[in-house]
Structure 1
Amino acid sequence: MIGIIGGYGEVGHHACLTLQQYGIGPLKIGGRNPEKGKAKQSDVLPGAIWELVDVEDDESIARFIAGCDLILNCAAPSHRYSRRIAKICLQHHVNMVDAGIDNDYHSNPLETGDNIIVYAAGATPGFSGLFPVWFGQQFDKVHSLLSYYGTSGQLSKAGAEDYLEGSLHSNNVPRAAWRKGIVPNVLFRKSGVEIPFFPGEVTLFPLFDDETQLVAQRLELENGEWYAAVEGEKSIAALDSASFEYKANPKTMIEKLCFAVEMDTLGRSPYFILMVQLTGESESQEKTQTAVYEVGKIIPFCGKIAAIIVKAVLDGKLKPGLHHTASIKDIDYVMDHLEKTDSNHTIQIIDHSIEELSVEEEGTL
C-alpha cells in the first residue's frame, strides 16, 4: 500500500497517475476532504481508495500511515508539514518520499534508523540538482558550472509560501558563488538580461543553497555560479520587498506575490527551463557544453519526479538514511524513467557556451 498525503492536489494527482502507470499500488489517497478527491479522481484512478487525513493532527497522520509500505507526501506548504510527517513515518517504521522540503534538514537532520526518507522530490529543489550531475557524466573532469533556471505559470498560495520560506531561509548564502568552497557576496543581480531559450528579458538573482552546495561537491567544482531567472516587473518588485514584508505580514506578502505572478504571466505559455553550462575535460581535451531542459507545465512535472523517486525507493535504489533527491547516486535510473513518462519535455546538449549561444541568437555567430 502506497499512501499519498495531499494526493488530490495538483502535484499529488499527477504523482498518482504516474504511479498507476508503473503498476505501483494499491494507492491510498489522503486529504482533509476525501470525498472531493474521490469525485475528482475516481474515473482516472479506479483502483485507488480515499481516506481522511488531517496534517495538523498527529493521530490522524498516524492512522493514515498505518498499513502503508511507503508514504508520498505532497501536502503543502511543505515547510510546515514535511518534518512533522517524516517523524511520524519514522515512529511507525515507514519509508517516505517528500515532494517538498524541510529547510532545516541539512543543519538539523533526522535519525532514520533502518528507514529511508527522501525529500525535495520535485522540480526545484530536486531535479535542478540531479540534472547538472547527470550532465557532468559527459565529462572526465568538470571545472566550472554556470546555471540558470526559470519558471512561468500560476503560483498557488502554498507554493508562494514555500518559495518565500526557502528563498529567505538562513541556508541561502547571499550572492554566493563556489570557488573551491562557498564565497559569499561576490555575485550581483543582473537586470534586463536576454538568455537563449528564455522567452524574454529576465532579471537574474544569484542563488546558493544546500542543493547548489551538494552539486558543487558532487561535481568537485572549482567554480560554480547559479542564478534564478525571473521575468515580469510585478514579480520582481514583489520579491524585492519580500525580505521585509514577509516577516512583518506573511499572509499579505504571499497574496502580493501570487497576484504579481498572475499579472505577469497573463496570456503567456507556462514553462520550466533549466540551463547548465559546464567547462571541463573529456578525453584529455578542454570542452564547454550547455545542456538545456525544457518542460511546459511545472506541476505535472513535479508529480512525475515524485513518483519516479517513489519507484526508486521501492526498487532498492537508496539505502536507509535521509536523502536529498539531488544526492541520489543512480541518476541514470531517474533520467531513464523520466524519458519514459509522457512528460512533454526536451533535452538539448549543445557544443557551445551560453555566451556563444547568445551571440548566435543575435545572428552573428
Structure 2
Amino acid sequence: MIGIIGGYGEVGHHACLTLQQYGIGPLKIGGRNPEKGKAKQSDLLPGAIWEKVDVEDDESLAGFIAGCDLILNCAAPSHRYSRRIAKICLQHHVNMVDAGIDNNYESDPLDTGDHTIVYAAGATPGFSGLFPIWLGRQFHKVHSLLSYYGTSGQISTAGAEDYLEGALHPNHAPRAAWRNGIVPNVLSRKSGITLPFFPGEITLFPLFDDETHLVAQRLELDNGEWYAAVEGEKSIAALDSASFEYKTNPKAMIEKLCFAVEMDTLGRSPYFIIMVQLTGESEGEEKVKTAVYEIGQIIPFCGKIAAIIVKAVLEGKVKPGLHHTASIEDVGYVMDHLEKTDSTHSIQIIDHSIEELSFEEEGTL
C-alpha cells in the first residue's frame, strides 16, 4: 500500500497518475476532503482508495500511515509538515518520499535507523541538483560549474510560502559562490540579462543553499556559481522587499508575491528551464559542455519526479537513511525514467560554453 498525503492536489495527482502507469499500488490517497478529490479524479484513478487525513493532527496522520509500505508526502507548505510526517512514518517503520523539504534537515537530521526518507523530490530543489551531477558523468574530472534555472507560471500560496522560507533560511548563503569551499558575498545580482534558451530579459539572483553545496561536493568542484533567473518587474520588486516584509507580515508578503507573479506571467507561456555549463577533463583533454533541460508545465513534472523517486525506493535503489534527492547515487535511473514519461520536454547537450552560445544567438539575430 502506497499512501499519498495531499494526493489530490496538483503535484500529488500527477504523482498518482505516474505511479499508476508504473503499476505501483494499491494507492491510498489522503487529504482533508477526500470526497472532493474522489469526485474529480476517481475516473482517472479507478483503483485508488480515498481516505481522510488531517496533516495538523498526529493521530489522524498515524492512522493513515499505519499499514502503508511507503508514504509519499505532497502536502504543502512542506516546511510546516515534512518533518512532522517523517517522524510519524519512522514511528510506524514506514519509508517516506517527500516532494517538499524541511530546511533544517542538514543542520538537524532525523535518525532513520533502517528506514529510508528521501526529500526534495521535485523540480527545484531536487532535479536541479541531479541534472548537473548527471552531466558530470561525461567528464573524468569536473573543474567548474555555471548554472541558471528559471520558471514562469502562477504560484500557489503554499508554493510561495515554501519559496520564501527557503530563500530566507539561514542555510541560504548570501551571494555565495563555491571556490573549493563556500565563499559568501562574492557574487552580485545582474539585471537586464539575456541568456540562450531563456525568453526575454531576466534578472539573475545568486543562489547557494544545501542543494548547491551538495552538488559542489559530489562533483568535487574547484569553482561553482548558481543563479536563479527571474523575469518580471513586479516579481523582482516583491522579492526585494521579502526579507523584511515576510518577517513582519508573512501572510501579506505571500499574497504580494503571488499577485506579482500572476501579473508578470499574464498571457505568457509557462516554462521551467535549467541550463548547466561544466568545464573539466575527459579522455585527457579539457572540455566544456552545456546542457539545457526545458519543460512547459512544472507541476506535472514535479509529480513525475516524486513518483520516480518512490519507484527507486521500492526497488532498493536508495539505501536506508535521510537523503536529499540530489544525493541519490543512481542518477541515470532517474533520468532514464524521465525520458520514458509522457512529459513534453527537450534536452540538449552542446559542446560549447554559454558565452559562445550567446554570441551565436546574437549572430543569428
For normalisation by structure 2, the TM-score amounts to 0.99
For 1:59 and 1:151, locate their aligned partners in 2 and report how far apart those are by CA, in whole Å. Answer: 37
Provide the residue aligned with 2:303 in structure 1. 303
Residues in 2 aligned to 1:24 and 1:309: alpha-carbon distance in whole angstroms: 12
| 1: CA distance, partners of 2:105 / 2:307 | 21
Residue 66 of structure 1: how far off its partner (Å): 1.3
Spell out the pairing of 1:199-214 with structure 2 (5 A cutoff): 199-214=199-214
Q: 1:201-235: CA deviations, max 9, x gaps?
A: 00000000000000000000000000000000000
Output the amino acid matched with 2:248: A
1:181-214: per-residue Cα shift (whole Å, max 9, x none)?
A: 0000000000000000001100000000000000
The number of residue pairs the alignment matches comes to 365
Q: Deviations over 1:55-105 (max 9, x none)?
A: 000000000001100000000000000000000000000000000000000
Q: Which amino acid aligns with 1:121?
A: A
Which residue is 2:116 aligned to?
116
Aligned to 1:43: 43
> Offset of 1:296 from its aligned partner?
0.5
Q: Where in structure 2 are the equivalents of 1:70-219 lying within 5 Å?
A: 70-219=70-219
What corresponds to 1:284 in structure 2?
Answer: 284
Q: CA separation in 2, counterparts of 1:98 and 1:340?
A: 22
Match of 2:339 in 1: 339
Write the letter of the residue equivalent to 2:288: T
What is the percent sequence identity of the aligned residues?
88
Cα distance in 1, alignment partners of residues 364 and 115 from structure 2: 56
1:238 equivalenced with 2:238 (yes/no):
yes
* Rounded Cα–Cα distance in structure 2 between residues aligned with 1:305 and 1:341: 10
Alpha-carbon displacement from aligned partner over 1:322-359 (angstroms, at most 9, x marks no partner): 00000000000000001000011111000110011111
Output aligned runs, 1:222-233, within 5 Å: 222-233=222-233
Report the 3-state secondary structure (helix = DSSP H, G, I; strand = E; otherwise coil) of the residue aligned with 1:343: coil
Q: 2:55 matched to which residue of 1?
A: 55
Segments of structure 2 that go 5 or more residues without pairing to the other structure are none
1:42 & 1:126 partners in 2: Cα distance? 29
Counterpart of 1:258, as a letter, is C
Q: In the aligned structure 2, how far is the partner of 1:5 from the partner of 1:364?
A: 49
Amino acid at match of 1:78: S
Question: Alpha-carbon deviations, 1:15-54, whole Å to 9, x = none?
Answer: 0000000000000000000001101110000000100000
Q: SS of the residue aligned with 2:363?
A: coil
Q: Distance in 2 between matches of 1:283 and 1:202?
A: 36
CA distance in 2, matches of 1:208, 1:5: 30
Between the aligned partners of 1:322 and 1:41, the Cα distance in structure 2 is 32
- Separation (CA, whole Å) in 2 of partners of 1:40 and 1:215: 40
1:84 is matched by which residue type in structure 2? R
Partner secondary structure for residue 363 of structure 1? helix
Tell me the residue number matched to 1:313. 313
Please give the secondary structure, in 1, of the residue aligned with 2:146: strand
Q: CA deviation at 1:261?
A: 0.2
- Taking structure 1 as the reference length, what is the TM-score of the superposition? 0.99
Residue 12 of structure 1 corresponds to 12
RMSD: 0.7
In structure 1, distance between residues paired with 2:332 and 2:167: 29
Partners of 1:184 and 1:359 lie apart in 2 by: 30
Q: Aligned letter for 1:45?
A: L
SS in 2 for 1:362: helix
Aligned to 1:255: 255
Alignment-mate amino acid for residue 233 of structure 1: E
Please give the secondary structure, in 2, of the residue aligned with 1:355. helix
Task: Please name the residue that 1:294 is paired with.
Answer: 294
- Determine the C-alpha separation between the residues in 1 that align with 2:59 and 2:266: 42
Aligned equivalents of 2:36 and 2:2: distance in 1? 19
* Shift, 1:364, TM fit: 6.6
**Cα deviation per residue 1:245-302 (whole Å; 9 max; x = unaligned)?**
0000000000000000000000100000000000001111101110000000000000
Closer/same/farther in 2, CA of residues 352 and 42 from structure 1, 3 Å limit: same
Find the residue that maps to 1:361 and give its secondary structure.
helix
2-structure distance, mates of 1:31, 1:58: 14
